[in-house]
Amino acid sequence: MRSLGAVVTLLAAIFAARRKLVLVNVTGASMEPTLRDGDRILVRRRGPAALRRGQIVVLMAPEAAQGPQWQCPGWHVKRVVALAGDPLPADVPPADETGLVPRDSVVVFGDNPFGGDSRDWGPYRVDGLVGTLVCRTSGRAE
């Protein structure tokens, strides 16, 4: 009976971890040199209230990034540079006439300025937030 209890406890822990954690494969060079193509990152599911400037986050690509010109669908890995209510950075297209990050959005940049991010598509909506970076492992052969 004791081993059955241990198995049940282990399965419950695995189930809880899967609801809170996501393993994401990094594709592309937009976060170089911090993260590179082929790296794997562990992401903790979190809500927008937990976001802080400087955090690396995973969020859904904005609609504009998914169009035929860009073809960057799926999840994006970026760094938070401005939160709702903050002034928009000068190189980000305005979402409205206030010049502030809208309350349902966040401004994110890739560490590599040549990757697509809020400088190209404007603020990202926080309802597409997957979570924040916990740790990274290299998936590349070195």
For this structure, is 78 an active site residue?
yes
**Which tokens is 118 given?**
């809020």
Q: Is 14 helix (H, G, I), strand (E, B) or coil?
A: helix
Q: Which two tokens stand for residue 70?
A: 């860009």
| Identified catalytic residue from 3, 20, 78, 118 | 78
* Gap between the Cα atoms of 113 and 135, Å rounded: 22
**For residues 29 and 112, is the Cβ–Cβ distance under 8 A?**
yes
Category of 76 on φ-ψ map: left (φ > 0), alpha (ψ -120 to 50) or beta: beta
Distance, in Å, from the CA atom of 34 to the CA atom of 132, rounded to the nearest integer, reads 15
**Is 30 part of the annotated catalytic residue set?**
yes
Q: Which of these is catalytic: 30, 105, 118, 138? A: 30
Residue 34's nearest CA partner among 129, 120, 111, 135 is: 111
The catalytic residues are: 30, 78
